[in-house]
Amino acid sequence: MGLRDDLERFREVGEERREDLKEFISYGDLGASGSKDIKIPIKVVDLPEFKYDRLDMGGVGQGKGGTPDVGQPLGQPQPGDGEGEDGEPGEEGAEHEYYEMDPEQFAEALDEELGLELEPKGKEVIEEVEGDFTDITRSGPHSTLDFERLFKEGLKRKLAMDFDEEFVREAMKVDGTSAREVFRWCREQNILVSMAWIEDEWSRIPDDERGTWASFEEMEENVERTTAIQRIRREGLREIPFRREDERYRHPEVIEKKQSNVVVVNIRDVSGSMRETKRELVERTFTPLDWYLTGKYDHAEFVYIAHDAEAWEVERDEFFGIRSGGGTRISSAYELAKEVLDERYPWREWNRYVFAAGDSENSSNDTKERVVPLMQEIDANLHAYVETQPGGTAINATHAEEVERSLGEQGNVVVAYVSEPDDVIDAIYTILSTEATAE
């Protein structure tokens, strides 16, 4: 008994046992929209209770710097509004806690996860920065310890050292193999495991399980590898290996600071054919991208453009919520984007990203005659089009294909397809890796 036991039982809920609670399990998700915090994946089981319908109950919010006008859309309801919030576990005690992650850490974690090496490049604006705690040394008073850096280094190390233990254990069950051979095989597979660990584990493999697999190949075919994110999702980051050598202490110095700026133009089709599910997919894809770039650059600004047959600039709060009835003319958005970029974000000073999303439906010939030339005219680090077409492709949805056909070779244009939430990570990878390799 005790907490370890409770934890064990909790892990099993809805999986090995207690099927009855399965429908009450939810997982925290990446990218809480409109919020500055990233949520870390976490399993939550909420016992059912008599509660009000979330939509019907409404709520109370607090305006920042003024009372908003009646009728103004809110985006998502603010979390933590009074007692109406979803039963926070442990709310019985009077504890105070915070739960947040900043974009920079998010970007690093994503880099590690996806193996990206996107470095902000070129176009830095130089400015004088007054003596801040910017310089670092290896020793100093404790209060100036750069904990963020310590944590990040620890996280990197963790990700570098982390490997799929189960998978390696399975490899030990290959017929006639030896610890040394498994080690060699691991090296070939780029699994960062030490000989000591293998030797240790080797003796623990039950004899009757040895020989389960005829060869490494057979084992690889039959055993599924898990990715680092799956393991973290399942087990959490057990521990961050902090090392003294990662400790840095900040001390003030007056320096000349180079600042890299980025502007991201998010374009979204809000026409009649964009239904709720598609809208959600756009949000799920754009939010992490925004976060990622915010984390990568010193200074990030965002432009949101909604369009049907016309285009107009909106605030982020409204961006994902707008619906309109009209037809679609994608070029209208690019015309506006060009205007905004030329006017406010000169190419020599700004890194530019133009991300558009929609269901690929466009009015006839608009893509070829108007959009493609505009995309060529607008200088940008990257142009991306995300096609959201849950439930397959409609016949007249050809925009993405046409763009890919005409500009796919250009190096700074990429098209990604998202038809269900599981595609989001792949799409993000496709988009960001294009930027990483394009020069």
Partner 1 sequence: MSFRRHRRDAQREAARLDEPVREAGALAKKLGLDPYPVNYWVVNYDEMNQLIAYGGFQERYPHWRWGMTYDRQRKTDQFGMGKAFEIVNNDDPANAFLQESNSLADQKAVITHVEAHSDFFKNNQWFGLFSDEGQFAAAAMLERHAQTIERYVENPEISRDDVEKFIDAVLCLEDTIDQHRTIREAAADEDGRIPGDIRAQLDSLDISDDVRREVFDEAWLEGVEEAEREAAKLTDPRKDVLAYVREHGMRYDEETGKAEEMEPWQKDVLDMLREEAYYFAAQKMTKVMNEGWAAYWESLMMGDERFAGTDEFITYADHQSRVLGSPGLNPYKLGKELWEYIENSTNRAEVADKLLRVKGVTWRNFHETVDFDEVQTLLRADPAIDGVSADSLDELSELGPDEPRVDHETLDRALSGDESLDLEAYPWKLLTYEGLAERHYSLVKAQNRGFLSRIRRSELEQLSRYMFDDEVYDSVEEAVADVDKTAGWDRMREIRESHNDVTFLDAFLSEEFVRANHYFAYEYSQSSRQFRVSSSEYRDVKKKLLFQFTNFGKPTIAVYDGNFDNRGELLLGHQYNGVILDMKQAKGVLERVYHLWGRPVNLMTITKEFDEHEVEVARRRGREPTPEERAIRVRYDGESFDEHDLDPELEARIAAGEVDYDTKPDDWL
| Residue 6 binds partner 1 (CB under 8 A) | yes
Is residue 418 within 8 A of residue 402, CB to CB? The reply is: no
Is residue 123 within 8 A of residue 348, CB to CB? The reply is: yes
Of 12, 83, 81, 86, nearest to 49 by C-alpha is 86
Using CB under 8 A as the binding rule, the residues of this chain from 86 to 105 that contact partner 1 are 89-101
Element holding 14 (H helix, E strand): none
* Positive/negative CA dihedral, 319, 322, 324, 327: positive
The residue range among 193-201, 235-243, 307-315, 381-389 that interacts with partner 1, by the rule CB under 8 A, is 235-243
| Residue 234 binds partner 1 (CB under 8 A) | no
State how far the alpha carbon of 240 is from the alpha carbons of 29, 108, 381, in Å.
21, 15, 35
The residue range among 79-87, 262-270, 376-384, 423-431 that interacts with partner 1, by the rule CB under 8 A, is 79-87
CB of 81 to partner 1, least distance (A): 5
Is residue 356 within 8 A of residue 384, CB to CB? The reply is: yes
Q: Provide DSSP, 295-315.
A: HHSSEEEEEEEEESSSEEEE-
CB of 228 to partner 1, least distance (A): 15
CB of 146 to partner 1, least distance (A): 12
Using CB under 8 A as the binding rule, the residues of this chain from 180 to 219 that contact partner 1 are none
Interface residue with partner 1, options 106, 194, 221, 238 (CB under 8 A)? 238
Interface residue with partner 1, options 29, 32, 33, 84 (CB under 8 A)? 84
Residue 279's DSSP bridge partners are none
Closer CB to partner 1, residue 9 or residue 180? 9
| Residue 161 binds partner 1 (CB under 8 A) | no
| Residue 43 binds partner 1 (CB under 8 A) | yes
Closer CB to partner 1, residue 50 or residue 188? 50
State phi, psi for 24 to the nearest 5 degrees.
Answer: -105, 10
CB of 393 to partner 1, least distance (A): 26
Closer CB to partner 1, residue 102 or residue 301? 102
Of 435, 437, 432, nearest to 112 by C-alpha is 432
Closer CB to partner 1, residue 98 or residue 439? 98
Closer CB to partner 1, residue 70 or residue 395? 70
How many Cα atoms within 13 Å fall on the side-chain side of residue 174? 22
In one letter, which amino acid is 203?
A: S
Closer CB to partner 1, residue 51 or residue 138? 51
Using CB under 8 A as the binding rule, the residues of this chain from 257 to 276 that contact partner 1 are 276
Residue 276's DSSP bridge partners are none
Other CB atoms within 10 A of residue 208 CB: 8
How far apart are alpha carbons 321 and 276 in whole angstroms?
9
Using CB under 8 A as the binding rule, the residues of this chain from 117 to 156 that contact partner 1 are 147, 151
Q: Residue 189 is encoded by which pair of tokens?
A: 């597979």
CB of 76 to partner 1, least distance (A): 8
**Residues binding partner 1: what is the number (CB under 8 A)?**
84
CB of 193 to partner 1, least distance (A): 22
| Residue 364 binds partner 1 (CB under 8 A) | no
How many Cα atoms within 13 Å fall on the side-chain side of residue 418? 29
Closer CB to partner 1, residue 78 or residue 433? 78
Interface residue with partner 1, options 29, 32, 33, 75 (CB under 8 A)? 75
Q: Quick one: 155 exposed, middle or buried, by C-beta within 10 A (0-12, 13-18, 19+)?
A: middle
Using CB under 8 A as the binding rule, the residues of this chain from 285 to 324 that contact partner 1 are 321, 323
State phi, psi for 131 to the nearest 5 degrees.
Answer: -50, 105
State how far the alpha carbon of 266 is from the alpha carbons of 157, 249, 302, 316, in Å.
34, 38, 7, 9
The contact pattern for partner 1, residues 377-396, with x = CB under 8 A and - = no contact, is --------------------
Closer CB to partner 1, residue 56 or residue 207? 56
